[in-house]
Amino acid sequence: MAKTATRKRGSVQRQGRRTMPTPRRSTHRRAAPALLTLGDLIAAAYDTAGGESFEVLKLVTSQQMTRALGRRIVLEG
């Protein structure tokens, strides 16, 4: 209910002041963008796997790689 202020000419309703809500900050930090290209990533996977195509496919499409890059890689072929 609004408060009233008394004046010479009668009572006047006045509005109370509201505080502004504080902005919410996100609790999670975004991951820094990767500085590697997809070609660099596949070349490094070939070096790691010793040139075996099936092993490269397993490395690049693994859950750990998905979490590290923040994106899922799908290879067709």
Question: Where do the domains of the chain lie?
Answer: 35-77
pLDDT tens for each residue of 23-61 = 877 666 676 666 778 888 888 888 988 888 888 888 888
Three-class DSSP category at 4:
strand
pLDDT at 2: 59
Asked if pLDDT for residue 1 goes beyond 60, the answer is no
pLDDT at 77: 65
* CB of 62 closer than 8 Å to CB of 74: no
pLDDT at 34: 62
C-alpha–C-alpha distance, residues 68 and 56, integer Å: 16
pTM across the whole model: 0.47
pLDDT at 6: 66
Asked if pLDDT for residue 21 goes beyond 70, the answer is yes
Q: Give the list of residues 6+ apart from residue 48 with CB closer than 8 angstroms, or none.
A: 59
